Amino acid sequence: MSALENLTAEGKELLRRDQVWPFLMPKQQAVDVSHQVILYVEGLNLSFDGFKALNDLNLYINDGELRCLIGANGAGKTTLMDVITGKTQCDSGTVYFGQNHNLLERSEPEIAELGIGRKFQKPTVFEAHTVFDNLELSLKTNKGVMPTLLARLTPTQLDRIDQVLEIIGLKEQRFMLAGALSHGQKQWLEIGMLLVSEPRLLLIDEPVAGMTAQETERTAELLTSLAGEHTVIVVEHDMEFVRSIARTVTVLHQGSVLAEGTMDQVQNNKDVIEVYLGEEA
Ligand SMILES: Nc1ncnc2c1ncn2[C@@H]1O[C@H](COP(=O)(O)OP(=O)(O)OP(=O)(O)O)[C@@H](O)[C@H]1O
């Protein structure tokens, strides 16, 4: 019997050629949420040709909360997400992930690596691949599409994919081509593609646009179930949906926070009423 055959499953795992040994991986400093806040945005400013898209914006998000961000078109919601995820640089201000990670010093891939996942409005799943393959492809890897598909998954990775399929409600569709899914299912798959890497913070842009009433309801359940273990920021225009999921709502207006509180509090806030009635007029 060769020495290799005597190895435990754990030992064999360590010898696999397609894996980097865990002790060789650079250590990522954990996110310090000892003050219960996972995202600190302070004094953020950004101008495009003199137009202030972000104007002394301050925002604090608690660890594990589900926060809804609302505001009229052009209020600065997407620009704020772009700055948090490193897509756009701001002119001044600070953005911290926990107390210890200065996001403004990081690149877009580094921010994703830290545990901040973003989902854009339009689903961008790989339509010609199965649901399972889409989740597999999203697992943290520096490899291209084919080497990733050919490399074997570790038992831990397989377990995580199973867990995610359960969370997003696509267990029965695991071998279906993503292109054959409904619009709502594609959106859930894309949320699943973020979840496989176990992000701490999820930024989700207009998740229910174009969904049926039933899909919208299921999405509300999904996002609410994610809060706690993850922190979720949802940008949404559908006020009924926001009411159904939100505990705290932040209203942006002209690049600043106009109001914050429960849905009832912000709807009765005189500044919000003035701005919205003013715009309707
Ligand atoms: N790259 C850019 N160059 C110039 N102006 C920009 C750029 N990006 C955003 N803006 C402007 O900044 C303002 C804020 O835009 P942003 O997309 O953040 O608003 P929003 O709240 O996300 O709106 P919507 O709900 O329509 O998505 C808008 O007036 C927009 O035209």
Q: Are the beta carbons of 63 and 38 closer than 8 angstroms?
A: yes
Task: For residue range 85-123, list pLDDT tens digits in order.
Answer: 999 999 999 999 999 999 999 999 999 999 999 999 887
pLDDT at res. 213: 96
- Find the 203 Cα to ligand 1 centroid distance in Å: 17
229 inside domain? yes
Q: What is the ipTM of this complex?
A: 0.95
CA 254 to ligand 1 center in whole angstroms: 10
Closest C-alpha to ligand 1, atom 5:
48
CB 179 within 8 A of CB 160: no
Please list, in sequence order, all residues whose beta carbon lies within 8 angstroms of the beta carbon of residue 240, skipping any fewer than 6 positions away: none
The reply to whether 132 falls in a domain is: yes
Residue 179 belongs to a domain: yes
Pairing of strands 66-70, 231-235: parallel
Domain enclosing residue 181, as ranges:
65-73+116-280
* Structural contact between residues 102 and 96, judged by C-beta atoms closer than 8 angstroms: yes
Q: Tell me if 268 is assigned to some domain.
A: yes
Count helices and strands in the chain by DSSP H and E runs: 11, 10
φ and ψ at 18, to 5 degrees? Answer: -90, 10
pLDDT on residue 21: 59
**Span from the CA of 90 to the centroid of ligand 1 (angstroms):** 13
Domain presence at residue 222: yes
The pLDDT, as a whole number, for residue 13 is 60
Greatest Cα pair distance in the chain: 84
User: How far apart, in whole angstroms, are the C-alpha atoms of residue 22 and residue 184?
Assistant: 37
Number of domains in the chain: 1
Ligand 1 atom with least separation from CA of 76:
18
Distance 107 CA to ligand 1 centre (A): 21
Give the pocket of ligand 1 (CB within 6 Å): 48, 53, 71, 73-79
Residue to probe by mutation, ligand 1, list 48, 88, 203, 206, most atoms within 8 Å of CB: 48
Q: Are 104 and 44 in contact (CB under 8 A)?
A: no
Q: Phi/psi of residue 170, each to 5°?
A: -120, 30
pLDDT in tens, 39-54: 999 999 999 999 999 9
**Residues of the chain whose pLDDT is less than 50?**
142-143, 281
Closest by CA to 59, choosing from 38, 74, 75, 73, is 38
Residue identifier of the C-alpha nearest atom 8 of ligand 1: 79
> What's 176's domain CATH number?
3.40.50.300
What's the 71 CA to ligand 1 centre distance in angstroms?
A: 12
